[in-house]
Structure 1
């Protein structure tokens, strides 16, 4: 759910897409396309303006504008499948957890990897 509880994001995994739904009506608001493999994790930013999605297949994750559906950034650099993503409360950082048991902290604006936790 978005933090304002108005939208829900879901992944179909095998169709490589993310869908954003109106939580009240159930209407599909956006279908986000761009991953080349299974999508297995999504997370809204605290202010619900951004959405991050992780692809376990290609080790990438994307940051989307949650209103327009535009892909703002594709982050790469994980050495393993990305299993989960989460925004920091202030939207400046993004964390990704990978199958190789590492957590990477990313700058959400530049896409630079700031730290790797092992």
Structure 2
């Protein structure tokens, strides 16, 4: 039996995306795109949110995750870079180096102090965001 019902069908601008994540309040959806872009979509209108498109990398963005307070969006790229987009300022906050291959998955701890990144290099790295 079918339990879900289609609500929206969204099309990111590049058409090819690898990562997707809901904001904690459920109002935004983020896409990590093949062309190195991250997009934020406003789910109430099914359109790109204000200041909702950012070129974050020259390579593809594979993984995305919102911080628990919804102020940061973490992304992992094809070349092993981990980045943080400060959504309150609509600016790239920092880029973290440490993986030797593409970062496919991201997750914040519940208190938002740690960020985990999982890579195709076979490692998971924990990043202390308080320092």
Q: Stretches of 4+ moved more than 3 A in 1?
A: none
Distance in 2, Cα, partners of 1:43 & 1:3? 10
1:2 Cα deviation after fit: 0.4
| Structural RMSD (CA) | 1.2
1:47 Cα deviation after fit: 1.4
- Among 97, 116, 121, the alignment partner of 1:76 is 97
Distance in 1, Cα, partners of 2:115 & 2:128? 7
Bigger radius of gyration: 2
Aligned to 1:43: 65
Aligned length: 108
C-alpha offsets along residues 15-64 of structure 1, whole Å, 9 cap, x if unaligned? 210000111101212101121201111101111111001102x1101111
Taking the TM superposition and a 5 Å limit, the aligned residue runs for 1:11-22 are 11-13=32-34, 15-22=35-42
Aligned to 1:113: none
Q: For the structure 1 residues 7 and 67, does the alpha-carbon distance in structure 2 shift closer, same or farther, using more than 3 Å as the test?
A: farther
Aligned to 1:99: 120
Distance in 2, Cα, partners of 1:75 & 1:31? 21
- Structure 1 unaligned blocks of 5 or more: 111-118
Aligned to 2:3: none
